[in-house]
Amino acid sequence: MTELKHSLNFKFEWRSYQQNFLDNFEEHITDNHLHVVAPPGSGKTILGIEVLRRVNKRTLVLAPTLTIRNQWRDRLESFFLNENSLVDYTTNIKEPQFLTFSTYQSLHALNKRFLDNDDDSLLEFIKRNGIQTVVLDEAHHLKNEWYKCLMILKQIEDLTVISLTATPPYDSSGAELNKYFELCGPIDDEIAVPDLVKNGDLCPHQDFIYFSKPSETQIRYIVGYREDIIQFMNELKADESFQNLLLEHPFYKRTEEVLEEIYDKPSFLSAMLIFLNAAEFEIDKKKLLFLGFESTVVNFPTLTYDWLEILLQELLVVQREDLIQYEPILHDIEKRLSRIGVYEKKKVNFIGDEQLYRSLASSPSKLESIHSIIEQEQQILGNDLKAVVLTDFIRKEFLDFKGDEVTALNKLGVVSIFQYLRVKSAQSQYLGILTGSLVVLHKDVVSEFEVLLGSGTFSMQPLSSDADFVQITVSGNNKNSIVGTVTALFQMGKIKILIGTKSLLGEGWDAPAINTLVLASYVGSFVSSNQMRGRAIRMDANELSKTGNIWHLACLDPTINDGGKDLEQLKRRFSAFSGVSISGKTYIENGLDRLQLPEIFNEETDLDELNTSMVQSASERNTLQERWHEAIDKGSLLVREVKVPYSGKTPFRKAKKMRSVDAAQYLLIEVVAGLGLFLPEFLMKNIGTLLNKGIFQFVYFLLAGVVIGFAPKTYKALKLYFLFGNSIKKTEKIGKALLAYLIKTKRVHIGNSEITVETEQHSNGSFACYLRGASNHEGSLFVNLLHEILAPVENPRYLLVSSSWVKRTWDVRNYYVVPQDLGKRKKDAIEFHSFWKEHVENSELLYTRTKIGRKELLKARLAHVVYQFKEVSEKAITWK
């Protein structure tokens, strides 16, 4: 049998972060799974070959494309094989060798062939060929068909699964994400971007956002849309027939009889009550008592679009057939909603229809944003500019665009961006287009293109819009060479601004010279965003001082305070990658917070000032290098943490003096200072009482004055302490309870280094909780479980219920979730509860699958609604 351990040897020295990963390899592989997150440029393929060398079993390596499959073979030959190597390897999956490099498509095709053969199967074929290790490269690509094939292979006893990816598909649906982790196992290790920057494998880089407003036509449409919705809401609240429908609905009229149904739809009941309250209808207090609320004084949340969506979606779609007697009312509401664009394809959507979202995402205003970015970068970099603009669609209909009236370019795409820059840019001769079906070059670079590709291999035709540019057509085998040829011209600086599609250039394309990347793409996922971004952060061997600026585009919706869907998409995109803070204190973190954007975006937001600030930061490329290295020196590894945003209405700085331990200090200062002013004045005014009625009467009046004067402040300070001041301490206690449980159950291993729960308060009022000293896998497990405990109550098997007079009076949270993984078995839930009582507080462990438990679960879910508990946590990754 071939032995990889002796036949393969890495010919060079491992980089420090690669060696650190390999040092922990044995610990990670004990469960026959190795799941590694490694960014572009980290040598992922080479590490993969070293791992399968150490596993030393017959191996099938699967890649998403032929190009990446061939990279594995090439890396094996270049970095591991020597004259004495005796390794059988092939790219033919039908005749596997000791090492077989193939694609997911090929495995899928092989499985389909076996499905038509009753005498054989894919599983038997793999077993027969002795394959015991499967490598899943670019594992984020796994689709349902491929997933099915691979789960068949997982039936092989002691099969080792090695999964490699740059970005786990966190934005996939819950079901798809669960499948992904079921196949790949939990993440064992992550090679950190800061390590790659420190080692010189990735360049210092920064993400920027360039903001724009919709066109006047778009704004008029959006404003009209919002006004129609407000009018509809007001009319519906005044509609007595609709109110009567709700009052006669079984959920309200016969609450006790339909409890089982209510348990399944507590949000619908909440929406009903919130709507009736907004319509100024007095809610039956008995309903609230029956639902478990001790007090009938309830502060109902405002009727928002979200609540109205839940209410109408249920009535118009889910329960429509059961409400046939109210069909005229529902039909009328349906028609009105459809007319204003809120109801389409049996879906109620008040936030904005798809047409509105797409009009913002592909707004022509982004063409001016791209032009401004390119102009500014050109001024800064001069002849060194190497800019790439990536977008979703080609838009060939704009190839015939003529003249200078750019308002005709009303859709975002490769050709419209090219035409806009061609008209507006002073250096349009440096423009080029590269897509799978369209290549456009300036006539000045055609001669170099011909030298590189070969004469007689292509034809060209001048663009009708500008004869200085030609459209290149290549036939036959030369099609495969055209991407490399245009890329070479870009690397040489003959093309300085290359516009292309993310489908062609977003993954696998390599042009290290890029120093400016504009992501004009809105159809995409975490994965594609990170892959596109990876094009700009690779180091350039010809320019060791390279820095990369990555520009994202956002067209804001001026009618809502959060900026709208376009900015929301960017927030999701930014959670997929880490970077350095843009100004102020240096730190490295994922997410949008590091760009220090305004908390509220509306029509008063000065976008020009915001863009000017971004451009100024983008021009400071030397400072960017310094900030990266300063931030890198502050830490040694990426730490996963739970971040809890500040949710108070009072600005954090103002509220801080009355939070946490400061509450007692503040109270003491207030009382002492107050008494210092109060006592002399009281003594002067009441000296007669002291002389005439005696010391006891005097003291009685003094104490009464102190209580009347200072009790409200005492009450307020104590209430603030219970409501807010203990949230960071409470979270730390919860973290300690969770850590103790994980150590006891051996899911966290205490080695030579101490593992502790840490909390950090941030200047903006938010705070973070994480494990110090734990492995990547342990830290990730801790964060996932803590996030689940702190999240709003959904449908857990077990609840931790804590209740006291103070909490009932001040509406402090008294429900916490036992995470799903810890609540599968009663024994585990009881053990976790014991640590909770030791570290957090006395509480009751409640099983929610009984009649009493379900009622308490309903109360817990409604409590989050009615009391507006806003302490919503999020997961973050920070360099520490």
Question: Is 846 within a domain?
Answer: yes
Task: Give the best-scoring range by mean pLDDT among 66-75, 185-194, 670-679, 734-743.
Answer: 734-743
Q: What's the pLDDT at 3?
A: 65
- 808 has pLDDT over 60: no
In this predicted model, what pLDDT tens digit does every residue of 829-841 receive, in sequence order? 999 999 999 999 8
Whether residue 391 is found in the same domain as residue 406: yes
Question: Is 650 within a domain?
Answer: no
- For residue 551, give the nearest of 578, 525, 581, 516 by alpha carbon: 516
Local confidence band at 669 (pLDDT 50, 70, 90 cut-offs): low
Average of pLDDT values for 143-153? 81
Q: What's the pLDDT at 645?
A: 77
Whether residue 702 is found in the same domain as residue 788: no
Q: What's the pLDDT at 810?
A: 54
**The two three-digit tokens of residue 747, written as one number:** 């899911």
Local confidence band at 706 (pLDDT 50, 70, 90 cut-offs): low
Whether residue 403 is found in the same domain as residue 465: yes
Q: What's the pLDDT at 720?
A: 46
- Single residue among 701, 723, 745 that ends a domain in this structure: 723
Whether residue 32 is found in the same domain as residue 162: yes
- 117 has pLDDT over 90: no
- Range from 292-301, 626-635, 638-647 carrying the lowest mean pLDDT: 292-301
Task: Give the best-scoring range by mean pLDDT among 278-287, 486-495, 718-727, 747-756.
Answer: 486-495
Whether residue 412 is found in the same domain as residue 393: yes
Average of pLDDT values for 849-862? 81
Residue whose entry in the numeric block shows the structure tokens 């999240």: 791
Whether residue 38 is found in the same domain as residue 178: yes
Domain that holds residue 670: 661-723
Contact call for residues 411 and 395 (beta carbons, < 8 A): yes
Q: What's the pLDDT at 571?
A: 87
Contact call for residues 340 and 229 (beta carbons, < 8 A): yes
**The two three-digit tokens of residue 697, written as one number:** 């009467």
Average of pLDDT values for 712-734? 63
Question: Is 869 within a domain?
Answer: yes
Whether residue 629 is found in the same domain as residue 498: yes
**The two three-digit tokens of residue 76, written as one number:** 């094996």
Which phi and psi (to 5°) does residue 134 adopt?
Answer: -120, 125
In this predicted model, what pLDDT tens digit does every residue of 540-569 receive, in sequence order? 989 999 999 999 999 998 888 888 888 888
Query: Rounded to an integer, what distance in angstroms lies between the CA atom of residue 756 and that of residue 771?
Result: 6
- 331 has pLDDT over 90: yes
Whether residue 474 is found in the same domain as residue 514: yes
Question: Is 649 within a domain?
Answer: no
Q: Measured at the alpha carbon of residue 765, what is the angle toward residues 763 and 767, in degrees to the nearest 5? A: 95
Question: Is 653 within a domain?
Answer: no
- Range from 26-35, 44-53, 269-278, 284-293 carrying the lowest mean pLDDT: 284-293
- For residue 494, give the nearest of 631, 574, 383 by alpha carbon: 383
Whether residue 557 is found in the same domain as residue 617: yes
- 467 has pLDDT over 50: yes
- Range from 111-125, 184-198, 281-295, 752-766 carrying the lowest mean pLDDT: 281-295
In this predicted model, what pLDDT tens digit does every residue of 508-543 receive, in sequence order? 688 999 999 999 987 655 567 777 888 889 899 899
Question: Is 646 within a domain?
Answer: no
**The two three-digit tokens of residue 460, written as one number:** 């060209």
**DSSP secondary structure, 536-570, as one string:** TSB-BTTBTT--EEEEEEEE--TTSTB--HHHHHH
Question: Is 750 within a domain?
Answer: yes
Q: What's the pLDDT at 178?
A: 80
Question: Is 199 within a domain?
Answer: no
Whether residue 569 is found in the same domain as residue 471: yes
Q: What is the chain's mean pLDDT, rounded?
A: 84
**Strands across the sheet with 439-442, in order?**
205-212, 548-555, 516-520, 387-391, 497-501, 431-434, 439-442, 469-474, 458-462
Q: What's the pLDDT at 237?
A: 95
Q: How many domains does the chain have?
A: 5
In this predicted model, what pLDDT tens digit does every residue of 30-80 receive, in sequence order? 889 999 998 888 889 999 999 999 999 999 999 988 888 998 999 999 999
Q: What's the pLDDT at 705?
A: 58
Distance of CA 241 to the CA centre of its chain: 43
Strand partners, 772: 756
Whether residue 571 is found in the same domain as residue 698: no
Q: What's the pLDDT at 49?
A: 95
CATH of the domain at 385: 3.40.50.300
Q: What is the CA radius of gyration of the chain?
A: 32
The pTM of the full predicted model, rounded to 2 decimals, is 0.84
- Range from 316-320, 692-696, 863-867 carrying the lowest mean pLDDT: 863-867
Whether residue 467 is found in the same domain as residue 565: yes
3-state secondary structure of 433: strand
Q: What's the pLDDT at 664?
A: 45
3-state secondary structure of 474: strand
- Range from 355-369, 600-614, 829-843 carrying the lowest mean pLDDT: 355-369
Strands (E) located in 564-615: 578-580, 588-590
Q: What's the pLDDT at 867?
A: 41
Q: What's the pLDDT at 195?
A: 93
- 454 has pLDDT over 80: yes
Q: What's the pLDDT at 169?
A: 78
